[in-house]
Copies of this chain bind each other. A is one copy, B any other.
Amino acid sequence: MKTDKLYYGAAYYDEYMPYDRIETDMTMMEKAGMNVIRIAESTWSTWEPQEGQYNFSHLHRMLDTARKHHISVIIGTPTYAIPSWLAKKADDILALNHGGQELYGHRQNMDITHPVYLSYAEKIIRRLMEEVKDEPHVIGFQLDNETKHYDTCSPRAQKMFVDALKKQYPDIRVFNHEFGLDYWSNRIDNWDDFPDIRGTINQSLAGEYAAFQRKLVTDFLAWQAAIVEEYKRPDQFITQNFDYEWHDYSYGLQPEVDQFEAVRSMTVAGCDIYHPGEDDLTGAEITVCGNIARGLLRDNYLVLETEAQGNPGWLPYPGQLRLQAYSHIANGSNSVMYWHWHSIHNAIESYWKGVLSHDLKENETYRDCCVIGNEWKRIGSHLKNLQKTNRIAVIADNRSLTGLRLFPTETNGEYSYNTILRWLCDTLFHMNIEYDMIPADETLFSKYDCILVPALYSASESTLTALNRYVEDGGSLIVTFKSGFSDEHLKIYADTQPHILHKALGIHYDQFTLPHHVSVSYHGIAGTAREWMELVSCDTARSLVHYGHRVWDRYSAVSVNQYGKGHAMYLATLFDEAVLIRLFSEFFDEIGLKEPQKIPVTASYPVVAKQGINEQGHSILYLLNYSHDFQHVYNSADDATELLSGKTICQNEEIQLDPWGVAILEY
């Protein structure tokens, strides 16, 4: 979705305030150049303190004051946290999950299939929509918040699951065969015998249930979208605050939601991205998570939440908050919204700090916001709706992620899939190569010169064949270990591995082990094999790296193959990024993709370059300094305007970047 301006703001909760300060707050926001707030998504019990008793006074206070201060509003439906009275309406309205029955208190622990929950949720959404639909400065709606399935395993949800299987498998014997249920006497020869899924040791069943649970999220969001559609104006958008696998911060693909599916009921993809700060700020999460968000609708997206002060240990150093904001926009976002304006004085997120600290006064972070907001008022029209075109794509696949959760690599546990995905993505990031993130959707492959495939563990034969065809037709493919290993139901393919792909890759293997004391080395750059190693033999491929090991040294760790008009590289183990950078550089060179993204400056990490075309048709180049040191970059292309300073940067002129600094060149 294109927006009329860059949106800068925060989530706001008048309900949580220790005293009345709404006028003060919005005056401060306006002064900081903020132009949007997100409200209402967490406070159902404020709107409906008792069943059927509504009180929207806080809502209207916020809407009225915002309008006065020229602040747009995104309204969130409040359904992800239920009131205490609703929890009493049914014994099982809170989810039964693998850990047992949830208790009231936490958000996001209801059973989203429960009819009582759904009926009250529909009522509050409609009631809220009635209240806000005529407000001109409401620009859009967020459905629920960070919606998931909360691992619901209620008898109701399990029955829905079995009903779906019944439909899919009219012959129960076919079901038993595909899922391998003869194993350990797990056969189900009568659907009524279906056992509680929580006890299963069959990863095909477990994976299928995980997929079913993700489908519940898709359906739930579509159901909410349909309700909101009844009320919303054509100029208003619908979005969802998609988040990511959590690893103390946003880490990678969200395991509980098929975002590429769920986004179909949205106008615009929204997301929240939380990342390490201070010395650990690198921009990697803003890129990988932002690329997922941009990929969902293949369009600009909204950052609906990101950290201001955030958790202890994330407090922005001078310059960092601004660097982060420009990083989001450089990546294709049309907004930066903090969670949240103010810090909270009670309960579990009291130390997840907003722009303001608990004293609710101006502070360093607020002063940084003022810089950003007022810069955007000045130059935002050059930055918004940045159009990005990348020649490289990375596949992100949830069935494979589930597969690796169930069959992890040696030490990465539930993060196995995203660790491999991040390995590829972060290597590109550190090489200053931008990329798209796509699902394993074969209709998209031909849009790219090169596709990277991290651990596509679960893949249909159709997808694998399409990848082969993609190479045959001239595409370049980079595939890691554990790809093509099992089918859509995690049934391991019973022939040469990697299944089907072995043709394009020109290799095969039939054994694998854990790499202990195994080195890899390429052109003098040495590394260590980790997590998994397949004992690959090259058929038509050329081995670039053999394992450094006294027994396994006859097997290939990295190989390249020409297949049809294209090339394919196989990575049979995980190893140090430095080695991978060297391999990628040569591969991109060989396949004529030497500069997959032509950067018109001499910049290398920690200076990150991000590009696009702005609405005026000009090339925009962001130079983002992810370091504490001054950095110097030379403009190797035409004269350009540095938008922040307004200065002209001539060809070959040096650009100095402050510590954690930013420059934006418009060509």
Residues of chain A having any CB pair with chain B under 8 Å: 13, 15-16, 18-19, 42-46, 49-50, 78, 81-85, 87-88, 102-107, 179-190, 192-196, 198-204, 278-279, 309, 312-315, 317-318, 343-351, 353, 357-361, 363-365, 407, 410, 486, 489-497, 510-514, 516-517, 532, 535, 550-551, 628
Contacts and interface: CB of A to CB of B under 8 A. Distances in A.
B347 A180 contact: yes
Given A180-B345, A278-B516, A511 B357 contact: yes
A309 B511 contact: yes
Nearest to A313: B514
A107, A186, A351, A353 — most chain B CB neighbours (10 Å): A186
A200 B346 contact: no
A19 B102 CA distance: 43
A305 to B, nearest CB: 15
B491 A195 contact: no
Nearest to A180: B346
B16 A347 contact: no
A188 B84 contact: yes
Contacts of A104: 195-196, 199
Contacts of A318: 551
B279 A351 contact: no
A106, A181, A183, A550 — most chain B CB neighbours (10 Å): A183
A343 B485 CA distance: 13
Given A348-B201, A359-B494, A410-B312, A185 B81 contact: yes
A279 B516 contact: yes
A205 B190 CA distance: 43
A315 B509 CA distance: 14
A575 to B, nearest CB: 17
A241 to B, nearest CB: 15
B190 A50 contact: yes
A202 B512 contact: no
Contacts of A347: 180, 183-184, 186, 201-204
29 contacts: A42-B184, A44-B185, A45-B185, A78-B185, A81-B185, A84-B188, A84-B194, A85-B189, A85-B193, A106-B199, A107-B184, A107-B201, A180-B347, A181-B346, A203-B348, A203-B350, A204-B346, A309-B511, A312-B410, A313-B516, A314-B513, A315-B512, A317-B551, A318-B551, A345-B486, A345-B492, A346-B490, A358-B510, A360-B495
A246 B201 CA distance: 19
Contact of A312 (B105, B278, B514, B517): B514
Contacts of A511: 309, 315, 353, 357, 363-365
A201 B44 CA distance: 16
Contacts of A87: 193, 195
A211 to B, nearest CB: 15
B492 A350 contact: yes
A417 to B, nearest CB: 16
Contacts of A517: 279
Nearest to A406: B348
A371 B654 CA distance: 70
Contact of A193 (B44, B78, B84, B188): B84
B199 A103 contact: yes
Nearest to A517: B279
Contacts of A85: 189-190, 193
A248 to B, nearest CB: 12
A70 B196 CA distance: 43
A511 B343 CA distance: 11
B312 A346 contact: no
A428 to B, nearest CB: 28
Given A203-B350, A359-B494, A185 B513 contact: no
B189 A45 contact: yes
B359 A510 contact: yes
B359 A106 contact: no
B16 A182 contact: yes
A177 to B, nearest CB: 8
Contacts of A202: 105, 346-348
Given A193-B88, A347-B201, A359-B494, A315 B103 contact: no
Nearest to A190: B50
A343 B510 CA distance: 11
B49 A189 contact: yes
A85 B190 CA distance: 8
A45 B346 contact: no
Given A16-B183, A43-B185, A185-B107, A510 B82 contact: no
A589 to B, nearest CB: 34
Given A105-B202, A357-B511, A407-B350, A50 B189 contact: yes
A358 B494 contact: yes
Contacts of A83: 185, 187, 193
Nearest to A363: B510
B201 A105 contact: yes
B513 A105 contact: no
Q: Enumerate the 6 nearest inter-chain pairs by beta-carbon distance, A residue then B residue, closest first.
A: A180-B346, A103-B199, A105-B199, A45-B187, A104-B195, A81-B185
A364 B555 CA distance: 13
A117 to B, nearest CB: 13
Contacts of A198: 103
Given A105-B195, A361-B510, A550-B628, A344 B180 contact: yes
A204 B345 CA distance: 10
A497 B358 contact: yes
Contacts of A313: 410, 513-514, 516
A657 B190 CA distance: 58
B16 A180 contact: yes
A107, A313, A347, A361 — most chain B CB neighbours (10 Å): A347
Contacts of A496: 359, 361
A19 B491 CA distance: 13
Contact of A344 (B183, B349, B359): B183
A345 B348 CA distance: 44
A365 B513 CA distance: 13
A514 B311 CA distance: 9
B359 A497 contact: yes
